[in-house]
């Protein structure tokens, strides 16, 4: 049985074999990050640090020849290491190349069942939400993607300003190692959410609406759950009264836009009760906070775990101050019935939360936390400086015209002089 060790949680300054970057990439990646940080350093401690002496040029878009490589077996796959450095320097791809990656990974997703099977050792990650530069940090502490099996529990996009880079890079890793990079669908991998939040705007700003539509077609093919060594079930959201066994998940038609209700909706939208008293006393309740799906409690989860033989449900979907949350343990296994993991530190640049990932190997359940990394600044809605400044310029021009109008309309005061004063 797996055991959870609090001692395995990270300490400041602690080193481990997982903290070393991939061989052959260390120099390039460090250089890329240093160049980016010269312009985008967030924590200003003196006025001199506010002065930018030079701005590194943004590299030109990569074409297919530059972005892909040929493996010894003859397969053409994206050069993930090159893309990592390129995206860190805020580079983009030619649209045809980006579409090729999106379409190639779609075939990988199509070939997978609703529940993907993964064997440990494995690193499990929660929401990323377009925070590409924190994703780079995540790989530093979670293990090199060349040799580490990763599971991402959905919500790659929205809110952060680098969702396209997150998608293209993770899709590239998936194409290189289909079994080594498992990505399941979250509630943000759909048309409704990406149109309401910022991924659609980002896609059309950086590429085009046609490319956005290609990404949506790929999202429609993503699997819904992951079976981790027959011990943990990875889901984005959770369970519901309609999900009592794995067969309920396997029979879902997932190749579509998620519906507003039903098992598919529940897998990506449901939440455990946040209050421990409610979690221990209630089974299910309508999730009025989300506006759809359910809250689920201890007894409902315990029954599901007993029916399926899993030790725990590992899910994402909710920001956590420490990057994770452990729910009350099962009375039989003494292991948390639900574990929430969230991998977007300083969520939305305002929450000041930690990010976390889970490492499961040799029957040890390990939690590692990490802080946010500096990232380039973007104006709201990806506006350019000129468009962003127009309202302020218009306001000042209006003030000036108002003042000039007042001055021109004011009549000069008449000066009355007494005759006697003139004679004097």
Catalytic residues: 188
Among 118, 123, 183, residue whose Cα is nearest residue 148: 123
Q: Which is nearest to 338 in space by CA: 263, 270, 292? A: 270
Q: Which two tokens stand for residue 142?
A: 């979670």
Apex 105 CA angle, 100 and 106, nearest 5 = 95
Number of helical H runs and strand E runs in the chain: 15, 17
CA nearest neighbour of 189 among 254, 93, 263, 96? 254
In sequence order, the β-bridge partners of residue 3 are: 364
Beta partners for residue 326, in sequence order: 339
Query: Residues 151, 228: contact at Cβ < 8 Å?
Result: yes
DSSP state of 74: S
**105 near 204, Cβ under 8 Å?**
no
Closest CA to 363 of 266, 173, 256, 232: 232
d(CA 223, CA 166): 18
Beta bridge partner(s), residue 16: none
Consecutive H or E run containing 232: strand 232-235
Residue 118, CA distances (Å) to 78, 110, 138, 234 in order:
23, 17, 20, 10
End-to-end CA gap in the chain: 114
Whole-number Å distance between alpha carbons of 328 and 298 = 8
Could you tell me if 4 and 231 are in contact, meaning their C-beta atoms sit under 8 angstroms apart?
no
Max distance between CA atoms of the chain, in angstroms, equals: 116
Identify whether the C-beta of residue 342 lies closer than 8 Å to the C-beta of residue 7: no
């Amino acid at each position: 049985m797996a055991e959870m060790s609090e001692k395995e949680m990270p300490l400041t300054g602690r080193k481990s074999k997982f903290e070393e970057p991939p061989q052959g990439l260390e120099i390039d990646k460090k250089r890329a990050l240093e160049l980016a940080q010269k312009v985008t350093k967030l924590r200003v401690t003196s006025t001199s640090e506010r002065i930018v002496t030079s701005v590194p040029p943004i590299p030109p878009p990569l074409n297919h020849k530059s972005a892909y490589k040929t493996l010894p077996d003859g397969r053409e796959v994206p050069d993930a290491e090159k893309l990592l450095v390129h995206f860190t320097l805020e580079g983009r791809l030619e649209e045809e190349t980006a579409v090729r990656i999106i379409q190639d990974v779609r075939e990988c997703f199509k070939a997978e069942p609703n529940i993907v099977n993964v064997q440990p050792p494995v690193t499990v990650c929660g929401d990323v939400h377009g925070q590409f530069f924190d994703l780079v940090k995540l790989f530093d502490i979670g293990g090199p993607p060349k040799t580490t099996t990763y599971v991402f529990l959905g919500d790659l996009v929205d809110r952060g300003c680098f969702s396209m880079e997150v998608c293209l890079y993770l899709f590239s890793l998936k194409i290189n190692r289909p079994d080594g990079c498992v990505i399941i669908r979250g509630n943000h991998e759909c048309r409704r959410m990406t149109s309401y939040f910022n991924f659609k705007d980002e896609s059309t700003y950086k590429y085009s609406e046609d490319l956005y539509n290609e990404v949506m077609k790929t999202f429609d093919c993503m699997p819904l759950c992951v079976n981790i060594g027959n011990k943990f079930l990875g889901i984005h959201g959770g369970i519901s009264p309609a999900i009592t066994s794995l067969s309920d998940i396997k029979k879902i038609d997932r190749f579509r836009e998620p519906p507003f209700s039903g098992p598919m909706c529940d897998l990506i939208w449901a939440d455990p009760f946040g209050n421990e008293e409610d979690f221990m006393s209630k089974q299910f309740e309508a999730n009025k906070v989300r506006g759809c799906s359910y809250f689920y409690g201890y007894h409902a989860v315990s029954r599901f775990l007993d029916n399926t033989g899993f030790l725990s449900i590992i899910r994402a979907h909710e920001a956590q101050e420490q990057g994770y949350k452990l729910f009350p343990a099962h009375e039989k296994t003494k292991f948390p019935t639900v574990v929430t993991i969230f991998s977007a530190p300083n969520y939305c640049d305002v929450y000041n939360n930690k990010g976390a990932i889970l490492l499961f190997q040799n029957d040890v359940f390990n939690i590692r936390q990490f802080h946010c990394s500096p990232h380039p600044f973007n104006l709201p809605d990806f506006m350019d400086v000129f468009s962003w400044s127009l309202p302020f310029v218009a306001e000042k021009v209006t003030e000036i015209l108002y003042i000039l109008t007042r001055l021109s309309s004011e009549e000069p005061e008449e000066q009355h002089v007494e005759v006697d004063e003139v004679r004097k």
